[in-house]
A and B are shown apart, each in its own frame.
Chain A
Amino acid sequence: MHLELTMKQAVIRRTVRKFAEERLAPRAVQIDASGEFPLELAREMAGLDYFGLEIPPEFGGAGLDSVSYTLIIEEISRASAAMGVCVSVHNSVGAYPIYQFGTEAQRRSFLVPLARGEHIGTFCLTEPNAGSDVSSLETTAIRDGDSYILNGNKIFVTNGGVSETNLVFAVSNPSEPRKRFSVFIVESSRPGLEKGPIEDLLGMRGNAVCSISFHDCRIPVENRLGEEGQGLKMALSTLDGGRLGIAAQAIGLAEACLENSLKYAGERYQFGAPLTSFGTIQGFLADMATRIDAARLLLHRACRLRDQKQNYSSQSAMAKLFSSELAVDCARVGVQIHGGYGCTKPYAVERFYRDAKICEIYEGASEVQRMVIARHLLNA
């Protein structure tokens, strides 16, 4: 069920749904089974502006608003959560920061190919010793004349396996307590950048997740994004937006669980009646539907605030928190409704169950989201 969309947003949603149903959904099973990133599909999506959704046309993107953006991620994720995450991460934390914080030259050389989907982007934040505890990160970027030299290890980089452009978060000023970090644009082709093997994942398979390590990787000063020491601020601002995409991705996944469960429960007969005639099952379905609508409203609100250029950190945290936990729950209930069949490969809910879990963890684990919301409450 959808909220009041403008005619344009309704057509956008419908257009993407058509593509997702015709081109993505039939391949979703195979992508999950092989765990291989579907390059052909990515190229197709690139041609339709899926990799430059929020970037203005002057830089090769589609220039869409936040509501349209999240509708698109939701529709993609409904067909394939793995592709939803790929597109969301590329757009909100891979490409958008360059638009927001980059110089004209950086936008020209890095942003345009990203918006066109000629290059895929990543945001390298997490490290072996720094997950939720971002400030413990150890990757260093030492100024040397007109370059920086990067050393360190980034793990769990979404899109890492196929990226050309990587935003790397590193310590540039160790002695300045509030200005320790900076962000750097590092091309995958830079000597000293090494990619690890693609992770063999539980879910979201087909996503090229890997580690990226830097060994005396030298990059020109011009590759630094924004001012030195402003890294944390930029990262937090970027993650606010990234949460919207992930919330949409989780909602798409939850919606797919609901649809599959509705269909199955209507066809499966036990005790002489379809499952849909039993109160317990009706309860499951009603709860799923209600919470999915609630999730959409939360997300919609956060999107509106963002488009109005208002502070939306707490609201986006709420949206991400609520949707991600919802997705896990809908997947769980979905499998339950399917019974034994739900634990076998031919049934989509089996994949949804594996896909859902990571939603509660990446782009700010639920615990971190709660911290953000609490901080907002306590400061107000």
Chain B
Amino acid sequence: MKNTEPSKALGSVWIFGDYRNYFQNRVTLQLIAKGKDLAERLETEVTVLVLGDRIHQYAMEYVAHGADVVLAVDHPHLKAYQVETYTRIIAEIAAEYRPEILLGGATSFGRELFPRLAVRLETGLSSDCIALEIDPETGLLLQTSPAFGGDLLAEVITPDHRPQMATVHPGVFKERPHDSGAVGRIVYPDVEIRPDTRVELLRSRPQQGRKGGLEEASVVFAGGRGMGHAEAFAILYELAELIGGEVGATRPAVRAGWAEEERLLGQTGKSIKPKLLISAGASGALQYTAGIQNAEIIVAVNRDPNAPIFKMADLGLVGDARSIMALLLEELRKRL
């Protein structure tokens, strides 16, 4: 929608509330916290928009975590998250209340819903943002969005259209602690609910831990081309087994046949968040680092002191990956 005066009846910084998997999926709470920041600067309030079935408890949670207002659309037909149904409902509500900003988590669902919704609302969208600020001069939302797997950042604005929409990567912002004394308004807008008939969900089951549980592992050894050959790469499997971790690989290593496709890390593979990631023999190409950048601690081992991987490592070891990993295995075997 072209920019017109937003309604003051509700807060004008809106957050799409994704309550699925509530205890693990904290992105809504993180966005509420950031939303409060933004709202303060715009002298307005934070509204969480949540759709679903029997959601009152979540609405309360959102208030406890900082929401000033919760717009709740509660209906059995909304039990399963559905793109077209949600697009229609949210667009209707947004058209009526005209928020200034609409944020959502860059979950799989968020990444499917928001682009469609942005077109429905005829406005702009930036995705996977890693930073959001209000420009002190213009009052516009400054959206920092990554490109090229995260190595180039773009600052984006939506000057003439509203709401300014953005999805945010989980883990970027910190949630506010639960405050049972917090006060907020829960509103149930009157919206027509028509279930979507065009896409039918036949079955949905939790994804089994994939081979090796790479995404669950707290320690991951990630090997690249610098390991040299299959026998050397195999050292990583032994290390992982010894310590109780997992093995990931870069594209060149997978191509060489040293690791299966399921172990591929990066833009076209898996994104993981282990406690510790040891990257051995990978120079740190953008495609790869996109998959490991969220690890808590990164240790990089590479022969080239100028390798890009060292820019994102907490500890860098400059040396031959093969011999260092072999020696590490030997030393650990002695101790364990």
Contact = CB atoms under 8 A, between A and B. Distances in A.
B303 interface: yes
A259 interface: no
A267 interface: yes
A346 B255 contact: no
A26 B306 contact: no
Interface in A25-47: 26, 29
Contacts of A21: 255
Contacts of B257: 26
Given A22-B255, A26-B255, A26-B257, A267 B304 contact: yes
Contacts of B269: none
A26 B256 contact: yes
A292 to B, nearest CB: 23
Contacts of A266: 304, 306
A228 B303 CA distance: 63
B229 A269 contact: no
Interface residues of A, number: 8
Nearest to A267: B304
A267 B304 CA distance: 5
A266 B229 CA distance: 21
A269 B305 CA distance: 9
B303 A267 contact: yes
B228 interface: yes
Contact of A346 (B229, B256, B306): B229
Nearest to A269: B305
Given A267-B303, A267-B304, A29 B229 contact: yes
Nearest to A341: B320
Interface residues of B, number: 9
Nearest to A21: B255
Q: Do most interface residues of chain A lie in helix, strand or loop, or is the interface mixed?
A: helix
Q: Do most interface residues of chain B lie in helix, strand or loop, or is the interface mixed?
A: loop
Contacts of A267: 303-306
Nearest to A23: B255
A267 B228 CA distance: 15
A29 B255 CA distance: 14
A267 B229 CA distance: 19
Nearest to A26: B256
B307 to A, nearest CB: 8
Given A26-B255, A26-B257, A346 B228 contact: yes
Contacts of B228: 346
Interface in B231-283: 255-257
A269 B257 CA distance: 31
A269 B302 CA distance: 13
Interface string B318-336: 0000000000000000000
Interface in A224-277: 266-267, 269
A22 B255 CA distance: 6
Contacts of B306: 266-267
Interface in B270-312: 303-306
A51 to B, nearest CB: 23
Contacts of B255: 21-22, 26
B320 to A, nearest CB: 10
Contacts of B229: 29, 346
Nearest to A22: B255
Contacts of A269: 305
A21 B225 CA distance: 12
Nearest to A263: B304
Contacts of A346: 228-229
Interface string B67-102: 000000000000000000000000000000000000
A266 B256 CA distance: 24
Contacts of A26: 255-257
Contacts of B256: 26
Interface string A266-307: 110100000000000000000000000000000000000000
Contacts of A29: 229
Nearest to B306: A266
Contacts of B304: 266-267
A204 B229 CA distance: 20
Interface string B125-166: 000000000000000000000000000000000000000000
A203 B175 CA distance: 63
A266 B305 CA distance: 10
B303 to A, nearest CB: 5
Nearest to B226: A267
Interface string B215-229: 000000000000011
A367 B305 CA distance: 46
A53 B256 CA distance: 27
A252 B303 CA distance: 26
A276 to B, nearest CB: 11
Interface string A318-351: 0000000000000000000000000000100000
Nearest to B230: A30
A346 B230 CA distance: 11
A29 B305 CA distance: 27
A21 B303 CA distance: 22
Nearest to A347: B228
A286 B303 CA distance: 24
Contacts of B305: 267, 269
Nearest to A29: B229
A14 to B, nearest CB: 17
Interface string A195-220: 00000000000000000000000000
A266 B283 CA distance: 13
- With a 10 A CB-CB cut-off, give which of A22, A26, A266 has the most chain B CB atoms: A26
Nearest to B304: A267
Nearest to B307: A267
Nearest to B305: A269
Contacts of A22: 255
A346 B320 CA distance: 12
A22 B252 CA distance: 8
The 5 A-B pairs of least Cβ separation, nearest first, read A26-B256, A267-B304, A22-B255, A267-B303, A346-B228
Interface of A: 21-22, 26, 29, 266-267, 269, 346
13 contacts: A21-B255, A26-B255, A26-B256, A29-B229, A266-B304, A266-B306, A267-B303, A267-B304, A267-B305, A267-B306, A269-B305, A346-B228, A346-B229
Given A21-B255, A346-B229, 7 more contacts: A22-B255, A26-B257, A266-B304, A266-B306, A267-B303, A267-B304, A267-B305
